[in-house]
Structure 1
Amino acid sequence: MVTRIITGIVLIAAVIAWLFFADFPIFTMGALFIYMVGAYELGPIFKFKQRYLFLFLAVAAAVCCFVIAPPGEFVSGHIPPVVKYIIALSIPLWIGVVPLIKAYPHKSSWYENKVICAILGLLMLVPFLEGLLVLRATDIALDANTGAYLVLAVMALVWAADSGAYFAGVFFGKNKLIPAVSPKKTREGLYGGLILAFAALILFMHLGLFSVYADSSPALIASGIIAIVFSVIGDLLESMIKRLGGVKDSGKIFPGHGGMLDRIDSQLAAVPLFLSVNWLISGNLA
């Protein structure tokens, strides 16, 4: 428990420093580090025979994205349409994994197909990476911290959902959500998480943390709610593939907290879905 608390404090301090004290190139390097560690952990979970094969694929995908649309362009406020489309791939991905999660463990033959696993893994990671960079670059020429608050706000929606789910589950949890995938999650916990996260969304809107993504209130509310709901799907997807891979934690990089994927599983869905749904509803996707 002591190790877990100390690691948590260090992680919080590192995230704050990364968001508010690192310039955009350093932030990009940090995002790439998160991305690559996540890819390194996914390979063994998907049981690729060559441990580094999926990492190589992920690096190649990131290089292609950066060549097509260098992140430096985001600083000028111009987000190329191709980047928006890459991030928007998160919409069919996260909708598509819902039936897989519901069908587990009875229909999991897809896991034996490494092409499907590779595509799934890349679609989990690449839109998330691009989404982080787009969020952080928002209005950076006008105020260096606007994007930092924006990233923090989107991530905090997930943290609020996790916290609300934990406490509601502890005090009121009776009915299991999807026991085959995550035995500890309950429907009551889910409802508690959604309520607290929605309250956080309203608070962050009042505080003006969403920058240009608050120009359309309907788009902001819808994208926030979708990000919150599907953050739970992100958590469940990681739990499912870990069960299929026969592992408890995705890695050991964080003592007491497991691996990188264990820390970002919900964010993998929330970050790109927040952006893509907002663009879609506000008419700014193209």
Structure 2
Amino acid sequence: MLMTRSPDAPIGVYDSGVGGLSVLRHIRAQYPNEHLIYFADSGHAPYGDKTEDYVVARALIVTDFLLKQGMKALVVACNTATVAAIKAVRAKHPELPVVGVEPGLKPAAAITRSRKVGVLATARTLKGEKFLQLREQIAAATQTEFLLQPAVGLVDQIELGDLHTPAIAALLDKYVTPLLDQGADTLVLGCTHYPFVQDGIERVIRDHASSGVTLIDTGDAVARQLGRLLEAAGLLRPAGGDAATLHGYTTADVSALAPAFANLLGLTPPVEKIDV
């Protein structure tokens, strides 16, 4: 498929739901001149309990849609989709700059003192072949033990939009406390939804009387990598033109994504529901 490769074309940011907004905010902060399209595949979420083939199929459908909107680069702002599908996306669209998100195992291993790192992620991410290979490589090279914790149900609760509910607090207690009990001094937020409940995670850490626990959010690194790819391709949008735009698409109801933009980022872009 031919695509518009112009600096003025938008960047596509794709997630299974609203979690990718945590990556979008880093992109907007670092590249305020860029036009952006955010795609929330909420009508087919959550991805964490889906098969790999299902996630691959959805990722290819979403990529094709965003290409039709003229995007110049794609950020797969979903850990589960990155692990399951980014290889297939790159294979089908080798001309397209594509950046994925991966749990920050390498930076976590570099800073842990206890050599124990907790990884919060979806079940699908933690079962992914690419993730497991990465874990084995880094564990062997750094003598780090990675404690894997599937956070079942947490994405569903975050998607509801209220980040301070008893249900979210209970899930964070359930999933974070065992990692602290095992001596983890570094926690990897292995899903782009999780930075939005960072305050709740920090509460669990305080209640546990743990000190010196570091949280790893890779959104900033993803944005920097995007910038490197755009610069190398001559696709960075220069300053001085029309104001940057942001448009949202969702496969669920607009009433889910629009409030997420407002509540999580303080933004009110146009949002459309589509069927793909």
TM above 0.5, yes or no, is no
* Alignment TM-score, normalising by the size of structure 2: 0.28
More strand by share: 2
More helix by share: 1
